[in-house]
Amino acid sequence: MLLGSIFKTPEKFSVYYHLALAEAISMTAGSMFIVVIISSFMGAVTTLNTAYQLTTGLLPSSIIGSVVSVSTLLELAPTVMSFILTGRIGSNIASQIGTMRVTEQIDALEVMGINSSGYLIIPRIAAGLISFPILVTISAFLCTLGGMIAGYVSGEVTPYDYTLGIQTYYDPYQVVVMYVKSVVFGFIITSVAAYHGYYTQGGALEVGRSATKAVVYGCLTMVFADYMVAQLLL
């Protein structure tokens, strides 16, 4: 119902365009630090974990590169990173909109004749659809790079073997799956958070509860969506 209401009496396109652009820049730039740090270490740990399991010596060390790259493209970059971003972006959206609700700012928009749900939610969903694929792309790159550096530093795999492993098992379809997931998760996180923020009732305590609900329900919906996408595309 909320998604239906946001398209009733929409505002000028330029209004949404500017708001979505500003929101996307804020989302992307604001999440960059956490994406860089977590992705790099995620790749490094995956490399070390994979190397630890290759104890037989029957498998070439290049397999580490392929395991890291496939894991990164299918799960680590789109899904794990989206879980982390739910905490940052989802709670941020829910608390922003929730605060506007309890301080009557949303009522002020309505009285002015502005479709408040459309004005507040469309730009945020659009920003999610723009920034999530960008953040996931950066995450995938850094995760793979982090894995290579960790392999080199620990002496488990040379950069040459690591790259060879990536090239051997690379399938462009995995990239398609990664982008489909990033778009789906971007939509889920922003829309679930906006929903909980928009229907906040009460005061500061309820704003906090809305932010918590946005993260919890966002993660639960993502788990389900992750399974559905995997089932449909793989």
What residues line the site for other proteins (CB under 8 A)? 8-9, 11-12, 15, 99-100, 103-105, 107-108, 110-115
Q: ∠185-35-183 over CA atoms, to 5°?
A: 20
Query: Which one-letter amino acid corresponds to residue 179?
Result: Y
Closest to other proteins by CB, 107 or 171:
107
Least Å distance, CB 103 to other proteins, is 6
Least Å distance, CB 190 to other proteins, is 18
Contact between 183 and 157 under an 8 Å Cβ cutoff? The reply is no
Closest to other proteins by CB, 101 or 181:
101
**Beta-carbon count within 10 A of 138 CB:** 18
d(CA 132, CA 24): 9
Least Å distance, CB 8 to other proteins, is 5
Closest to other proteins by CB, 49 or 103:
103
Least Å distance, CB 125 to other proteins, is 19
Name the H helices within 103-171: 105-112, 116-154, 159-169
Contact between 90 and 192 under an 8 Å Cβ cutoff? The reply is yes
Closest to other proteins by CB, 67 or 93:
93
d(CA 224, CA 167): 31
Closest to other proteins by CB, 32 or 111:
111
Least Å distance, CB 214 to other proteins, is 19
